[in-house]
Amino acid sequence: MVVSLAQIRQTAGEVFTEGCPTRVVLDHIMSKWGVLVLLALTDGTHRWGELRREVEGISEKMLASTLRTLEADGLVDRTSYPEVPPRVEYALTDLGRELMERMLPLVQWVAANAGRVIPVS
Amino acid sequence: MVVSLAQIRQTAGEVFTEGCPTRVVLDHIMSKWGVLVLLALTDGTHRWGELRREVEGISEKMLASTLRTLEADGLVDRTSYPEVPPRVEYALTDLGRELMERMLPLVQWVAANAGRVIPVS
DNA sequence: CAGTATCCGCGCGGATACTG
DNA sequence: CAGTATCCGCGCGGATACTG
């Protein structure tokens, strides 16, 4: 038996209304840097400098702002240790891990099919 | 047995390298309007005007440009009928449907948890 | 109806310098 | 080390008018 996409979509709720919370959160996590930062944190805790290096091309400003947004959304945890020099670690929250369980299959599929989607010129 | 997110992430490939095809496609489908247009097409074929109305807040320019990008990516099919007045229909391709099978669980989860993620102020 | 053409503002996001 | 502050360009994306 085949379940149609339309049936599944029913349960997605009203994403098309402007300003609805779902749209706001989608904008955060589906943003260019949002995805990459979340992805980087998927294999565990990372320090600021590690994220800066791992997420290639991100600027300090964007890393800071992305992390603050994801933290406010409750998806990322920030832990700062009172040491000199300072050490700050970022990790997914439980909510963040739930999210990534759904996001990873999507990213995997894209990674596997990117060559098919955009023909190699 | 619990499979760690890190293990799953392995198979996602190198998403962190700048300019890699995966990043490009992710940027298309994870963009604000990309997601919403793909979502609108998930319950079947739609005409231009229907999409304009269903995806609330999208401008003509952005709808046109989003549709052209997704069409070039091979995710959306454009069929124009030689009638007066003209009729043009948009639908997901097989590739697009494969993608949405992975995207819908993510969107559903966000829709279900948006209230939790951003506390109602 | 299904777009294109043109104009234009603003804010995203980069670069650089600086700090607790 | 982990950021913040400041400046600034450009292109995303909206608004409006027009067309096959």
B53-85: pLDDT as tens digits:
999 889 999 999 999 999 999 999 999 999 989
Q: What is the mean pLDDT of residues A82-105?
A: 94
| Chain A interface mutation, best of B62, B103, B109, highest count of A Cβ atoms under 10 Å | B103
Give strand C nucleotides closer than 7 A to any protein Cβ.
1-6, 13-17, 20
d(CA B9, CA A79): 23
Q: What is the mean pLDDT of residues A82-93?
A: 94
Instruction: State the pTM of this model.
Output: 0.90
| Chain B interface mutation, best of A103, A109, A116, A120, highest count of B Cβ atoms under 10 Å | A103
Dihedral of alpha carbons B60, B66, B72, B78, sign: negative
pLDDT of residue B13: 60
d(CA A38, CA B108): 18
Higher-confidence position of A43 and B10: A43
Strand C: which of residues 91-110 in chain B lie with Cβ below 7 A? none
How does DSSP assign chain A, residue by residue?
A: -PPPHHHHHHTT---SSTT-HHHHHHHHHTSHHHHHHHHHHTTS-EEHHHHHHHSTT--HHHHHHHHHHHHHTTSEEEEEE--SS-EEEEEE-HHHHHHHHHHHHHHHHHHHHHHHHS---
Q: What's the CA A82/C1' D6 distance, rounded, in angstroms?
A: 28
Residue A27 has pLDDT above 90, yes or no: no
Q: What's the CA A48/C1' D4 distance, rounded, in angstroms?
A: 14
pLDDT of residue A3: 62
